[in-house]
Structure 1
Amino acid sequence: MKRLYIYSIAILLLTFGTMTSCTKDFEEINTDPNNPVSISPSLLLPNAIQVTVDRYWGHSTRYQRLNIDAAMCWIQHLSRNIYINAEGDSYEIPLTISSGTWNSIYNESLINFERVITLSEAGAEFENSNYLGIAMTMQSFGFAYLTDVFGPIPYSEALNGTAEEAINSPKYDSMEDVYAGILTDLMEANDLLSTSGPEVVGDILFDGDIMKWKRFTNSLALRIANRQASKKPAESKALMTQILSDPVKYPIIESNDQAAELIHFDVIGSRNKMFDVFSTRSDWNISSTLIDKLLELDDERITVYAQPLSDGSYAGLPNGLTDAAAGTYNASVIGLKYLDPTAPSVLMTYAEVEFIKAEAALDGDIDGNAEDFLENAIKASFQQQGLVMPDDYMSRIGGVTKESIMTQKWIALFGQGVEAWNEFRRTGYPVMPAPNASSAFSNEGILPTRIEYPTSEYSLNRTNLDEGVSMLGGSDNMRTPLWWVD
Structure 2
Amino acid sequence: MKSRRNISTLFALVAIMLVSACTKKFDEINTNPYDFNEEDLAADYRLMGEPLSQAQLCLLIYNDPPTAQLQQNLNADIFSGYMMSPTPFEGNINNTNYGLLYYWNNRPWQVTYTNVMKSCDFTQQKAKGAYSDFYAWAQIIKVEAMHRISDIYGPIMYTHYGILNDEMGIDYDSQEQAYNAFFNDLREAVDTLTAYINRNAVQRFTSFDLAYKGDYTQWVKFANTLRLRLAIRIAGVNPQKAKQEGEAALSHPLGLLKTSADNFAINIAPVTHPLNIMCYTWADIRMSAPMESILTGYNDPRLPHYFVPTDDGANVYHGIRNGIRISAKEEYSGFSQLVKFNSNILFMTAAEAWFLKAEAALNGWKGAGTAADNYAAGITTSFNQYGINNVNDYMNNSTARPKPYVDPQNPENNISAGDPHLSTITIKWDESAGREQKLERIITQKWIAMFPEGQEAWTEFRRTGYPKLFPVVINNSGGTIPTEKFIRRLPMPQVELVTNPKAVARAITTLKGPDTGGTPLWWDIR
Structure 2 residue aligned with 1:260? 264
Residue of structure 2 equivalent to 1:354: 354
Which runs of structure 2 are paired with 1:391-430 in the superposition (5 Å)? 391-396=392-397, 397=427, 399-400=429-430, 401-430=438-467
Unaligned runs of 5+ in 2: 1-21, 34-39, 398-426, 431-437
- Using the alignment, how far apart are the partners of 2:446 and 2:210 within structure 1? 27
1:431 and 2:434 aligned: no
1:77 maps to 82
Q: CA deviation at 1:247?
A: 2.2
- What is the RMSD computed on CA atoms of the aligned residues? 2.8
Match of 1:480 in 2: 519
Preserved CA contact (<8 Å) 2:158 2:173:
yes
Task: Name 2:155's counterpart in structure 1.
Answer: 152
> 2:58 aligns to what SS in structure 1?
helix
Matched, 1:65 2:37: no
Aligned equivalent of 1:376: 377
C-alpha separation between the residues in 2 aligned to 1:259 and 1:167? 44
Identity %: 27
Which amino acid letter does the alignment assign opposite residue 104 of structure 1? V
Query: Which residue number corresponds to residue 317 of structure 1?
Result: 320
Unaligned runs of at least 5 residues, structure 1 = 1-21
Call closer, same or farther: CA 1:235–1:216 in 2, change over 3 Å.
Answer: same
Give the count of matched residue pairs.
Answer: 439
Which of 425, 428, 440 is residue 474 of structure 2 equivalent to? 440
* Contact 2:94/2:101, CA 8 A, preserved across alignment: yes
SS at match of 1:472: coil
Structure 2 Cα separation of the partners of residues 390 and 403 of structure 1: 20
The 5 A counterparts of 1:83-482 are: 83-84=88-89, 85-122=92-129, 127-160=130-163, 169-193=169-193, 194-195=196-197, 196-198=200-202, 199-200=204-205, 201-248=207-254, 251-266=255-270, 270-310=271-311, 311-312=313-314, 313-324=316-327, 327-328=330-331, 332-336=335-339, 339-340=340-341, 342-366=342-366, 367-396=368-397, 397=427, 399-400=429-430, 401-433=438-470, 435=472, 439-443=473-477, 444=479, 445=483, 446-482=485-521
The aligned amino acid for 2:323 is G
Note if contact 2:351-2:379 (Cα within 8 Å) is conserved in structure 1.
yes
Query: What does the per-residue CA deviation read over 1:444-476, in whole Å, with 9 as the maximum and x for residues that have no partner?
Result: 435211001111222222121111111012111
Secondary structure of 1:381's counterpart equals helix
Q: CA deviation at 1:328?
A: 4.6
- What secondary structure, in the 3-state scheme, does the structure 1 residue paired with 2:170 have? coil
Contact residue 349 and residue 450 of structure 2 kept, 8 A: no
Q: Do the aligned partners of residues 406 and 159 (structure 1) sit closer, same or farther apart at CA in structure 2, a change above 3 Å counting?
A: same
Change in 2 beyond 3 A, CA 1:178/1:89: same
Taking a change above 3 Å as real, the CA distance of residues 48 and 66 of structure 1, as seen in their structure-2 partners, is closer
The Cα of 1:179 is off from its aligned counterpart by 0.6
Question: Does the Cα contact within 8 Å between 2:265 and 2:344 map onto a contact in 1?
Answer: yes
Q: Distance in 1 between the 2:499 and 2:168 partners? A: 9
Question: 1:213-249 deviations in whole A, cap 9, x for unaligned?
Answer: 111111111111110111111221122222223424x
Per-residue Cα deviation, 1:154-178 (whole angstroms, up to 9, x for no partner):
22211335xxx99982212111111
Cα pair 2:322 2:470 within 8 Å, conserved? no
Q: Is the CA contact 1:63–1:97 (under 8 Å) kept in the aligned structure 2?
A: no
- The 1-side partners of 2:523 and 2:281 are apart by 38
**Alpha-carbon distance in structure 2 between the residues aligned to 1:113 and 1:167:** 26
Change (3 A) 1:378 1:389: farther
Structure 2 SS opposite 1:262:
strand
**1:16 corresponds to:** none
Q: Cα gap change, 1:453/1:133 in structure 2, threshold over 3 Å: closer, same or farther?
A: same
Q: Which amino acid aligns with 2:476?
A: S
Q: Secondary structure at the match of 1:346?
A: strand
TM-score of the pair, normalised by structure 1: 0.83
Contact kept, 8 Å, 2:224 with 2:249, in 1: the verdict is yes
2:65 match: secondary structure: coil
Q: CA separation in 1, counterparts of 2:225 and 2:64? A: 24
**Letter of the aligned partner of 1:109 in structure 2?**
V
Relative distance call for 1:460 and 1:246 in structure 2 (3 A) is closer
Distance in 1, Cα, partners of 2:51 & 2:133: 14
> Do the aligned residues in 2 keep the contact of 1:132 with 1:192 (CA within 8 Å)?
no
* 1:380, distance to aligned residue in structure 2 (A): 1.2
In the TM superposition, what is the alpha-carbon distance from 1:326 to its structure 2 partner? 7.2
Question: 2:120 and 2:252 mapped to 1: Cα distance?
Answer: 28
- Give me the whole-angstrom Cα distance separating, in 1, the residues matched to 2:67 and 2:209: 28
In 2, Cα distance between equivalents of 1:275 and 1:284: 9
Q: What residue number does 2:3 align with?
A: none
Q: Distance in 1 between matches of 2:248 and 2:331?
A: 54
Deviation at 1:392, TM superposition (A): 2.5
- TM-score w.r.t. the length of structure 2 is 0.77
Q: Relative to structure 1, is the Cα distance of residues 326 and 272 closer, same or farther in structure 2, using a 3 angstrom cutoff?
A: closer
